[in-house]
Structure 1
Amino acid sequence: MTLQHIIVEHPNPPENDPRYDGDAAYSLKTLPAGWRSSASSKALDEDLIFEKNVPIKLRDGVTILADIFRPVKQEKDLPAILVWSPYGKTGRGKCSISAIAWLEAGILPSELSGLEKFEGPDPARWCPKGYAVINIDPRGTYDSEGIQSPVPSRAMVQDAYDVVEWLAVQPWCNGKVGAAGNSQLAMSQYFIGESQAPHLAALAPWEGLTDNYRATVARGGIPDTEFAASIFGLLCGRDRFELLTDELVQPGQDGLYREHARNISASPSLIKVPLYMTASVGSVIHLQGSILAWKKAASAEKWLRLHGGQEWWDLYHQQDDLERFFDRYLKGLDNGWEQTARVRYQLLPFGPLSSPKTLAYKTAADFPPPEMKEMKLYLASEGALSHEPQGTTASVSYDSGDPDAIASFVWKSDSNVGVVGLPRIKLYGANDTQEDFDIYITLRKVDKDGQTLFQYCWPLDDLQAVAKAQGKPIPASHEEYPALNTAVYVGPSGRIRASHRKVRSPRPGDEEDNLSWPGWPFHPHDERQPVPAGTIVPIETGIWPANIEISKGEAIRLDLTPIKKDLFDFPWQLRNKITSSQKGTQSFHFGGSYDAHLILPTIQL
């Protein structure tokens, strides 16, 4: 299949960004200590050099623009921290934490200078530590030349190589270049790493998916493009914009895996530089890919931190830890970073004591932890999950057109355990009228009193401090958190469209091997396998990673539903009415010859 690229005038010129200043000319100035971008922002602790709209010419003649920040006190031997995304560089962008997060995600305005790129490190914090921070407007973004692609892809690998090597020979640089940032800034780092530029020395991709298809637009083969469409609408450019006739998911189509999906899927096995990666439950699109990228990376020196918070809050509250990593690999300091455990993870208790600020980290040599043992729980009658299979066949069913429909199965623990790793499930499903149906899977934690619990991703005291500083109503408890997945985590989830149930084990070295876990069901999404109405078929699929603490007497509840139970991504979606487009009676069969079961990865506590 050959992709046909359609190039159009950019639908969103920079002037559509209310924060765009209209200035595309090069300038150099000193921002003095005490300077503020606004009355409420962080004041600079010392003088910074601000080079604005620095032109960088790429190998094909296209010029892109960068903002470069350096400390006045140090003229040379500065490592470069590259910050790469299409959201707009310094002080620009339609996307900001204040625009999309409740109460600034618990980040006080006085903690940030306003010089940072959205989801990127703040020059006001890093330049005084002896670093240069480079905010890039990639190809086609704002006033940078070229054709803009809305998501990171292999097309940017050569651009990244050129930028890294250009930075390394600047008179102020020590010849070492790293990169940092959340979300798309992390996704971009996978392709920066693929470039294997000689002067690339370290990467810190803090939460980035590896596979847009399987994480966002068609997870489980079910088209779901609302998040991607929202992001694309935030991108601005002066030049042109790339559309594709062979889209990831065509509206009304079956969501088969397409060639372009491969072009925007990372190959972590090509990354060889030291890595410090994070993943969090507060990111329902990045969690799986972040851990998978860490697992697949070829880097001999790589670290993973799995936390119970949310990426924006974590980015600006774990900077000392990141500084130790960069000091080791960008400055060459012998600071003992190598003694850091390769894997650190928080076990989440859920409920009001679940603040990521106070939870301790456990350590492991790998993920899942080597001591993990799989527990097989069989679906059984009366909504049970049993250690033993049921001898007689039985079934449960619901009206798939009912958005409140649910089938639940519960396992109560008789000891203290951690559910840590990648759960998976095998179901036997049918629909009485349709040849296809969707299954959404959620694991919920239930306390000893039968109450369903949530993990709160932003510390309540930090949210209260922001509310107080901004003169807004101060939340008194976690019950006031909005129903947004950035703020509240319901539990590990999975989803699968029955016609996409085909499972394949990629061979080591295959391109798809970068996207799969050993022993975890991998769906190639390369063909539809319709299910004749009324026919019962086996369906195996994976559930995204878990890190849940279960005390004796607490429970895990398996929920099966016809619509997704993840919370919304953005505040404006809270107005949306949840509906189901499915039809017919959906049934699940277990017991006897139906080996329906849930696999939980567990460790003893």
Structure 2
Amino acid sequence: MLIMWQVPIQMRDGVVLRADVFLPTPEGAYPTIMSYGPYAKGQSFQEAYSAQWNQMLKDFPEIAEGSSNKYQCWEVTDPERWIPHGYAVVRVDSRGAGWSEGLQNLWSMEEIYDFYECIEWAAEQPWSNGNIGLLGISYYAANQWLVAALQPPHLKAIIPWEGTSDLYREFYYHGGIRCQFIDSWLPKQVPMQYGYGSRARKNPHTGESVAGPETFTEEELRRNRVDKVAEVKAHPLFDEYYQTLSVDWSQINIPLLSAANWGGQGLHLRGNIEGFMQSASEKKWLEVHGLEHWTHFYTPYGVNLQRQFFDRFLKGEDNGWDNKPKVLLQIRHVGNKFVAREEDAWPIPRTVWTKYYLNARSFLLNKELPENDSSVTYEALGDGVTFYTHPMEKETEITGPLAAKLFISSSTQDADIFLVLRLFNPSGEEVVFRGAMDAYTPVAQGWLRASHRKLDMERSLPYRPYHTHTEVEWLVPGEIYELDIEIWPTSIVVPEGYRLGLTVRGKDYEYSGALDEEMTQFHRYPSRGCGPFLHADPDDRPSHIYGGKVTVYTGRGRESHLLLPVIPEKP
């Protein structure tokens, strides 16, 4: 393998980005796999994310086979998995990160324009045959949607692996409630900003700092990056700021493989499903798996999918990929077990959409509408109230998008609704799952700020309400309002005798069971069910507005219910 370190790529404004290029040793022109992002391309996975690496190898030792693993880097592909198969691999540090100079403006269109230029630069190099594909996790996936919509001439296929496609609804504001993920995520990225210099980790192969040859003061570093938290807090509604960062789905017409994670509640799920559903491409596939968001990207299962897809669309091989069903699912079972199944479409065409009505008198979820009207009141910032199904009479699969309709009133002018779909065994103990970024995720979650209840009727679906988030409609205290709430998709096969529960609450879900300290460290963030996707910003949720009481109404005329996608066996 031939490696070229810190190859310069000059942008339209003169700023120079740097790329590491990995090539097969026979000279030639090869299809090229690219990533562009802020995590410092010279940083060793095994050093910077040792807990994740070690746990991943413990669970899947085969990841270490067939590669020296010397060039493993966080959330991008291992070049040793591709070079022997006749690919070039290019890793680019995004503007202001790693070895790339310039003002760092994360999650911006400036980065996307840079990405476009990098794609076209790579296509012109003598070692590239002009067919460029994009591959990477999370940040390295999310920017693929936006750059693909710009239609770089030489971009031929993308694999966004667990990457948001709607920064407002999936990243910054869940249901209109500010998510604090960037508050904890951004400080972790500062040591990878260009100019961190001698304070940063060293590239194990070159001995150089992974964050550039210069060492800036803390004040210089601050001046060289956009304060993203302040920027997001200044835009609590879906305004022009987010509109400029919205994907134009009509312009994505290249082949794509969109990979999502059932446990990606808060970031690594909805965007991939929306991308599959909305993109204009006729050659598109959806894959959904489980476990941590970095795991199956590196397992033989994931790598084989990626290679087969790129062999077809970057090399033009007739390898049978075109005959593969459009939806590839890992159906989730209790005990973090998964069973592979192929489907023809999403949602699954044979879905039996089933309403379970809330009963505020019995606290049950029933398929029959309650005969009597009733209500239940809870503290608006409290644990709320849970409604349960009867024990399942037989094994029942729930796979697909979910939604709820609630009739509520508030003692104040607004209310934040947190919905949590949960699973309980016959003894009443809650069953949780290893998620994308938390070891104890529930079955599914959804959020809505009541003042953001306005729907976009053209984009809303019965199983996926779509809110505009463009205006605030305050509540009149005591008046009853109808809320349609999106719950992010899920998959769970509920065993006989188990029950589902829907918790309606006023704050983030917290798993109450015993924690495994090793697993919580593995996930890098507090692991009580939501990981880093928390919603407790006092500026966004002042107690005098969100700290009152909320009442949920059930019965005829106030048909509060949960819509579940029940999947019968294939005929």
Query: Do both proteins adopt the same fold according to a TM-score greater than 0.5, normalized to the shorter chain?
Result: yes
Q: Give the letter for the 2:356 counterpart.
A: L
Match of 1:592 among 529, 545, 556: 556
Letter in 2 for 1:441: L
Instruction: For 1:554 and 1:132, locate their aligned partners in 2 and report how far apart those are by CA, in whole Å.
Output: 50
> CA 1:218–1:570 in structure 2 vs 1: closer, same or farther (change >3 Å)?
farther
Counterpart CA distance in 1 for 2:404 and 2:354 is: 12
- Give the corresponding residue for 2:378: 398
Structure 1 residue 101: Cα displacement: 7.5
Q: 1:163 maps to which residue?
A: 118
Aligned partners of 1:94, 1:87: CA distance in 2, in Å? Answer: 14
> Shift of the alpha carbon at 1:421?
1.4
Alignment of 1:87-102 (within 5 A): 87-91=39-43, 96-98=48-50
* Counterpart for residue 416 of structure 1: 395
Q: 5 Å matches for 1:298-313?
A: 298-313=280-295
- TM-aligned CA deviation for residue 52 of structure 1: 0.6
Is the aligned partner of 1:388 residue 2:368? yes
Aligned to 2:305: 321
Matched, 1:366 2:345: yes
Q: Does 1:439 align with 2:420?
A: no
Provide the rounded CA distance (Å) in 2 between the counterparts of 1:274 and 1:282: 25
- Which of 146, 149, 167 lines up with 1:212 in the alignment? 167
Q: CA deviation at 1:276?
A: 1.2
Tell me, yes or no, if the aligned pair for 1:217 and 1:228 is still in contact at 8 Å. no
Q: CA deviation at 1:214?
A: 1.0
| Preserved contact between residue 373 and residue 553 of structure 2 (Cα < 8 Å) | yes
1:147 aligned to which of 103, 106, 109: 103
Matched, 1:183 2:166: no
1: CA distance between counterparts of 2:125 and 2:550? 63
- Given the alignment, which residue of 498, 501, 507 partners 2:453? 501
Match of 2:434 in 1: 456
**Residue 209 (structure 2) aligns with:** none
The superposition leaves residues 6-60 of structure 1 with CA deviations (integer Å, 9 ceiling, x where unpaired) of: xxxxxxxxxxxxxxxxxxxxxxxxxxxxxxxxxxxxxxxxxx2110110112233
Distance in 1, Cα, partners of 2:188 & 2:487: 30
Is the Cα contact below 8 Å between 2:292 and 2:437 reproduced in 1? no
Write the distance in 1 (CA, Å) between the matches of 2:241 and 2:229: 10
**Paired letter, 1:272:** N
- Structure 2 CA distance for partners of 1:245 and 1:417, relative to 1, 3 Å: closer
Compared CA separation, residues 596 and 141, structure 1 to 2 (3 A): same
Indicate the RMSD between aligned Cα atoms, in angstroms: 2.9
Report the 3-state secondary structure (helix = DSSP H, G, I; strand = E; otherwise coil) of the residue aligned with 1:294.
helix
1:237 aligned to which of 194, 206, 211: 194
Q: Name the amino acid aligned to 2:169.
A: R
Task: Give the letter for the 2:417 counterpart.
Answer: I
Number of equivalent positions: 512
The structure 2 residue matched to 1:275, chosen from 248, 253, 256, is 256
The 3 A distance-change label for structure 1 pair 100 and 532 is farther
**Separation in 1 of the partners of 2:523 and 2:388?**
30
Supply the AA of the counterpart residue of 2:368. E
Aligned to 1:41: none
Alignment equivalent of 1:195, drawn from 121, 145, 150: 150
Conserved 8 A contact 1:376-1:600: yes
State the alpha-carbon separation in 2 of the partners of residues 95 and 229 from structure 1: 20
Closer/same/farther in 2, CA of residues 265 and 338 from structure 1, 3 Å limit: same
Q: Does residue 1:291 correspond to 2:273, yes or no?
A: yes
Maintained 8 Å contact 1:117/1:135: no
Read off the aligned partner of 2:131 and give its amino acid letter. K
Percentage of matched positions with identical amino acids = 30
| Structure 1 residues 349 and 340: alpha-carbon distance in aligned structure 2, compared to 1, 3 A threshold | same
- Decide which of 4, 9, 13 is 1:60's aligned counterpart: 13
1:107-156 Cα deviation digits (max 9, x unpaired) = 669467242331010112221221111010122223323322112x4333
Cα distance, 1:157–1:399 mapped onto 2, change above 3 Å: closer
**Distance across 1 between alignment mates of 2:80 and 2:179:** 38
- Three-state SS of the structure 1 residue aligned to 2:96 is coil
Say if 1:90 and 1:117, in contact at 8 Å, map to a contact too. Answer: yes
Report the secondary structure of 1:489's partner residue.
Answer: coil
Does the 8 A contact of 1:101 with 1:571 survive in 2?
no
Q: Give the drift of 1:446.
A: 2.4
Q: Distance in 1 between matches of 2:292 and 2:250?
A: 26
Q: What are the residue-to-residue correspondences of 1:29-108 with 2, within 5 Å? A: 48-72=1-25, 74-91=26-43, 96-98=48-50, 103-104=55-56, 106=59
- Normalising by structure 1, we get a TM-score of 0.78
Conservation of the 8 A alpha-carbon contact between 1:379 and 1:598: yes
CA contact (8 A) 1:82 1:180 kept: yes
Counterparts of 2:7 and 2:317, CA distance in 1: 30
Whole-angstrom distance in 2 between the partners of 1:405 and 1:436:
16
Residue in 2 aligned with 1:547? 491
How far the C-alpha of 1:94 sits from its partner, in A, is 12
Question: CA–CA distance in 2 between the matches of 1:525 and 1:442?
Answer: 21
- Of stretches 204-213 and 100-109 in structure 1, the one that deviates more from structure 2 is 100-109
Aligned partner of residue 143 in structure 1, secondary structure: coil
Conserved in 2, the CA contact under 8 Å of 1:78 and 1:174? yes
Gap regions ≥5 residues in structure 2: 196-220, 512-519
Residue 603 (structure 1) aligns with: 567
* Cα shift readout 1:463-501 (whole Å, capped 9, x = no counterpart): xxxxxxxxxxxxxxxxxxxxx843333111101111111
Q: Does residue 467 of structure 2 align to residue 527 of structure 1?
A: no
Which region of structure 1 is more displaced relative to structure 2, 322-331 or 561-570?
561-570
8 A contact 1:422–1:543 mirrored in 2: yes
Shift of 1:565: 0.9
Deviation of 1:66 after TM superposition, in Å, equals 0.4
Letter in 2 for 1:82: M
1:240-251 to structure 2, matched below 5 A, reads 240-243=224-227, 247-250=231-234
Is the 2:386–2:501 Cα contact (8 Å) retained in structure 1? no
AA matched with 2:421:
L
TM-score after normalising by structure 2: 0.83
Residues 566/202 of structure 1: CA separation in 2 closer, same or farther (3 Å cut):
farther
What is the CA distance between 1:400 and its match in structure 2? 2.7
**Contact 1:411/1:557 (8 A) holds in 2:** no
Once the two structures are TM-superposed, the CA of residue 383 in structure 1 deviates from its matched residue by 1.1
| 1:133 match | 89
